[in-house]
Structure 1
Amino acid sequence: MSDDEPAENISGGDAGGGQATVFETGQPATRAEAVVNRLGELYWQKTYGGRDAFESLVRTILSQNTSDTASQPAHDSLMERYGSGDLVASLAEADQQRLAETISSAGLYNQKSERIVTIAGRIREQYGSEAAFDEFVREGDADEVRDSLLAYNGVGPKTADCVLLFSGGQDGVFPVDTHVHRIARRIGLAPPDADHETVREHLERDVPGEKCGFGHTAMIQFGREYCSARKPACLDDPEACPMADLCDQVGVDTVGEVVDPSEAAD
């Protein structure tokens, strides 16, 4: 197990921070916990929290529908231009077209810049400052914080959950991105036809709260290294995957075909 989380994993890495932690594994109560324990052995065990809430929100919006290698430069450019003071105030007053040019590497930059300016304005109206919003995310009730974040146009469940995890440090929050959605259904931790929210409900129910954070970041890394969408490691050799004994291989035909788990259920 390594404590070194790759920076390109924008959900974690340098963006998410995190503190290396050792959890007792013992006998897992569920298969989902067994999977997360294995991921912890393969990659890292960490707790998260303490990142600036509004910056985390902006960072996750920039990462939507784009790669980390594209969104990271956009984040860096945004922070260089607007991050010297109160970021909420700076972006609430930002010229939308200038912001769009600043974050152009992230893709969908016109849409994202409009959303960021609008959300910054609403947060300033509701909380007054970046610091007050940060306090709300860190100290507020998790359900209330999540509902408040979801009320902003352009903030979906994954974005809200990333803010709760990486800023609020909330236990029991397992953000579901495309990697987690695919892997949880392929392994058999959620129904093959489950949507993102159903996958989240299954994982948060079956994984101990304190393990959800590194379960999320390590599962993303596992998806990149072993369980890709089109060519998972088990396709050619079932034993090549470190999760082979825990996986149902839903949608993976070892003679050479891979389909979405929902199609395999038909």
Structure 2
Amino acid sequence: MKDEPAENISGGPDGGGVEAEFDPSEADTRAEAVVDELGELYWRKAYGGQDAFECLVRTILSQNTSDVASQPAHDSLMNRYSGGDLAKTLADAEQSELVETIQSAGLYNQKSEMMIDAAAEIVDEFGGEAAFDAYVREEDPQTVRDRLLEIRGVGPKTADCVLLFSGGRGGVFPVDTHVHRISRRMGLAPPDADHEEVREYLERDVPAEKCGFGHTAMIQFGREYCKAQKPACLDGPEACPLYDYCERVGIDEIEESVVDPAEAVADD
């Protein structure tokens, strides 16, 4: 089993949580079986413990970019602005200075504005990051999710990451581009399912305690094996450790062609 990579902005050593052991019981669903296999291939970890506002900032930085680009931006931001109440500090930050700090993350004008606005909203409603952190950890998860989604720039994946990595809420399976692609390609969700529908299927079929590492391990699987344009299965069944669990929707192994699962269904 591999160690979770530090560059995984959603997890890694700085992501909070602890290594966990789960009973290798017989899976009740194919989605659970896939997650169990991912746990054997990568890691099994119970998440939680990350500061809620910093987690929100990290996830905003990671939007539409890679960890390679967003991690340095996060490090630069923390070097410049940490040391006090981060939410209060960012609420009063000069946008031009913040833009300069997070340039490596891309879309820096948009992200800097989103972070300053989010910080101001959190300070105005909660008084600062400590009270916001308590709210995320202690309030009803659906209430927290709904409130997070009211913040400009916070979508379902960002809200779910805050719930998972800060609140440590079981049963939360954030859906990014990797999870969305893999779940539909493998047949764990309908080929034309949107991100929210994929989340509903995964959270229904994967036990609550396995959703967290299922999310991060599936992202790593997407980076290493189930890539968008050239999945490992095109090199033969032996090239993919999850080949026997996958329906390969949108993949033609003979023609060595790949389309989005939704396109494959539309063409039938």
User: What's 1:135 paired with?
Assistant: 134
Deviation at 1:25, TM superposition (A): 2.0
Q: Deviations over 1:207-239 (max 9, x none)?
A: 000000000000001111110001111012022
CA distance in 2 between counterparts of 1:104 and 1:173 reads 30
Unaligned runs of 5+ in 1: none
CA distance in 1 between counterparts of 2:6 and 2:68 reads 10
Q: Does 1:228 align with 2:227?
A: yes
Q: Deviations over 1:23-56 (max 9, x none)?
A: 0121111000000000001111110000000000
CA distance in 1 between counterparts of 2:184 and 2:15 reads 25
User: What's 1:113 paired with?
Assistant: 112
Q: Does 1:258 align with 2:266?
A: no
How large is the Cα RMSD of the aligned pairs? 0.8
Q: Percent identity?
A: 71
Q: Deviations over 1:89-113 (max 9, x none)?
A: 0000001111111111110000000
Q: Does 1:73 align with 2:72?
A: yes
User: What's 2:25 paired with?
Assistant: 26
Counterparts of 1:89-128 in structure 2, within 5 Å, are 89-128=88-127
CA distance in 2 between counterparts of 1:95 and 1:10 reads 25
Q: Deviations over 1:232-252 (max 9, x none)?
A: 110120221111111001111
Letter of the 1:231 partner, please give it.
K
- Structure 1 stretches of 4+ moved >3 Å: none
Deviation at 1:130, TM superposition (A): 0.8
Unaligned runs of 5+ in 2: none
TM-score computed with the length of structure 1 as normaliser? 0.98
CA distance in 2 between counterparts of 1:218 and 1:194 reads 21
Name the SS for the 2:193 alignment partner: coil
User: What's 1:165 paired with?
Assistant: 164
Q: Does 1:249 align with 2:248?
A: yes
User: What's 1:54 paired with?
Assistant: 53
CA distance in 2 between counterparts of 1:14 and 1:262 reads 36
Deviation at 1:258, TM superposition (A): 0.6
Deviation at 1:134, TM superposition (A): 0.3
User: What's 2:146 paired with?
Assistant: 147
CA distance in 2 between counterparts of 1:51 and 1:120 reads 17
CA distance in 2 between counterparts of 1:47 and 1:107 reads 30
Q: Deviations over 1:56-111 (max 9, x none)?
A: 00000000011111111111111111111000100000011111111111100000
